[in-house]
Amino acid sequence: MRDVAIIGVGETAFGELWDYSFRDLGIEAGLKAIQDAKVTAEEIDAVYVGNMSAGKFIDQEHVSALVADYAGLADMHLPTVRVEGGGACGAVALLQGRMAIASGMHDVVVVGGAEKMTDVGEVQAAEILSSTADQEWESVFGATFAGLYAMMARRHMYEFGTTREHMAAVAVKNHKNGALNPVAQFQKEITLETVLQSPWVAEPLGLFDCAPLSDGAAAIVLCAMDQARRYTDAPIRIAGSGQASDFLALHDRRDLTTMDATVVAGKRAFAEAKVEPRDIQVAEVHDNFTITEILAIEDLKFVEKGKGGPATMDGVTALNGKVSVNTSGGLKARGQPVGATGVAQAVEIVRQLRGEAGKRQVVGARRGLTHTLGGTGATAVVHIFERGA
Candidate list 19, 136, 233, 276; residue touching a copy of itself; CB under 8 A = 136
Shortest distance, position 140 Cβ to a copy of itself, whole Å: 8
Query: Mapping DSSP to helix (H, G, I), strand (E, B) and coil, where does residue 138 land?
Result: coil
CA 199/CA 206 separation, integer angstroms:
5
Q: Is 102 in the site for a copy of itself (CB under 8 A)?
A: yes
Stretch that binds a copy of itself, among 74-82, 115-123, 169-177, 295-303 (CB under 8 A): 74-82
Candidate list 7, 34, 44, 65; residue touching a copy of itself; CB under 8 A = 65
Shortest distance, position 187 Cβ to a copy of itself, whole Å: 30
CA 238/CA 44 separation, integer angstroms:
19
CA 387/CA 149 separation, integer angstroms:
35
Handedness of CA 194, 199, 205, 207 (dihedral sign): negative
Stretch that binds a copy of itself, among 28-36, 45-53, 274-282, 316-324 (CB under 8 A): 45-53
Shortest distance, position 287 Cβ to a copy of itself, whole Å: 19
Q: Which of residues 6-25 bind a copy of itself (CB under 8 A)?
A: 21, 23
Nearest to 149 by CA among 263, 261, 259, 254: 259
Q: Is 301 in the site for a copy of itself (CB under 8 A)?
A: no
Candidate list 5, 29, 37, 52; residue touching a copy of itself; CB under 8 A = 52
Q: Which of residues 246-285 bind a copy of itself (CB under 8 A)?
A: 246-249, 252, 260-261, 264-265
Q: Looking at residue 213, what DSSP letter applies?
A: P
Q: Is 78 in the site for a copy of itself (CB under 8 A)?
A: yes
Shortest distance, position 197 Cβ to a copy of itself, whole Å: 34
Q: What b-and-e string marks burial along 233-248, b requiring 16 or more CB atoms within 10 Å of the CB?
A: ebbbbbbbbbbbbbeb
Candidate list 3, 24, 31, 99; residue touching a copy of itself; CB under 8 A = 99
Stretch that binds a copy of itself, among 99-107, 226-234, 323-331, 343-351 (CB under 8 A): 99-107
What lies within 8 Å, CB to CB, of 86 at 6+ separation is 52, 132, 338, 373, 374, 375, 378, 379
**In angstroms, how far is the first alpha carbon of the chain from the final one?**
18
Q: Is 243 in the site for a copy of itself (CB under 8 A)?
A: yes
Residue whose CB is less far from a copy of itself, 226 or 252: 252
Q: Which of residues 109-128 bind a copy of itself (CB under 8 A)?
A: 128
Residue whose CB is less far from a copy of itself, 135 or 191: 135
- E strands in 271-353: 282-284, 324-325
Candidate list 7, 95, 117, 211; residue touching a copy of itself; CB under 8 A = 95
CA distances from residue 334 to 169, 178, 183, 318 in whole angstroms, order as listed: 16, 6, 7, 16
CA 245/CA 255 separation, integer angstroms:
14
DSSP states of 14-54: -B--TT--HHHHHHHHHHHHHHHHT--GGG--EEEEE-S-H
Candidate list 38, 104, 159, 197; residue touching a copy of itself; CB under 8 A = 104
Beta bridge partners of 63: none
Q: Is 379 in the site for a copy of itself (CB under 8 A)?
A: yes
Stretch that binds a copy of itself, among 50-58, 201-209, 228-236, 347-355 (CB under 8 A): 50-58
Nearest to 222 by CA among 370, 96, 87: 96
CA 169/CA 291 separation, integer angstroms:
10
Q: Which residues bind a copy of itself (CB under 8 A)?
A: 1-2, 21, 23, 47, 52-53, 55-56, 58-62, 64-66, 68-70, 73-74, 77-86, 92, 95-96, 99-100, 102-105, 128, 131-136, 139, 243-249, 252, 260-261, 264-265, 374-375, 378-379
